[in-house]
Amino acid sequence: MRSYPRNSPEAAARILALVLISDGHVSRSELETLQQLDGVRHLGLDSQKFPAIVQTLCEDLLMEGFDGRSILSRVGEGLMASLMAEVNDVEQQAQVLRLAQLVVHADQHVSEGEKAMIEAISGIWKTISVAAAAAKAKSNRPALALAD
């Protein structure tokens, strides 16, 4: 799977694309809602570049052996964690999740694949945030003096 710079618009857009294709297709109403919300631009990406992000993601998934079944089962935990780690800015994560929620509801049906993908992304980002907060707290903790 190709990688993008950390917290880049492309990394955020790929995660949004992952949600959009998680049920096996992207509906017209989902794309229209994304366009009406100017969602891709809110992620910092020119809207003309989003189709290429989706295409690249699909190509990468095919290279990984994706065969049309659940994307989550094909991507695997390690790859999901790697993709999610490319967006570690909490505000950007929240923005991606808000857009994903709005877009998947556009067709009046949230599939099991879409629901599972959003839950997986939320869970991974929550875990990453908790681990980062713990590491930060540990690094800010004063060293204990050893008593004689």
The domain that holds 117 is classified in CATH as: 1.10.3680
**Domain-embedded: residue 41:** yes
More confident site: 63 or 115? 115
pLDDT tens track for 73-84: 666 778 888 899
* In contact, 72 and 116? CB cutoff 8 Å: yes
How many other β-carbons are positioned within 10 Å of the β-carbon of residue 63?
A: 10
**Is 3 a member of any domain?**
no
Q: Does some domain include residue 60?
A: yes
Is pLDDT larger for residue 136 or for residue 59?
A: 59
Q: What percent of the chain has pLDDT over 90?
A: 46
Global pTM reads 0.82
Q: How far apart are alpha carbons 118 and 65 in whole angstroms?
A: 22
Q: Per the domain annotation, does 120 fall within a domain?
A: yes
Nearest-angstrom CA–CA distance, 129 and 26: 29
Cα 16 from Cα 101, distance rounded (Å): 10
CB 26 within 8 A of CB 103: no
Instruction: Check pLDDT > 70 for residue 68.
Output: no
**Domain-embedded: residue 14:** yes
Indicate whether 86 belongs to any domain.
yes
Does residue 38 lie in a domain region?
Answer: yes
Q: Which domain holds residue 124?
A: 9-128
Residue 141 inside a domain? The answer is no
Cβ neighbors of 38 (< 8 A, separation 6 or more) are 47
Number of domains in the chain: 1
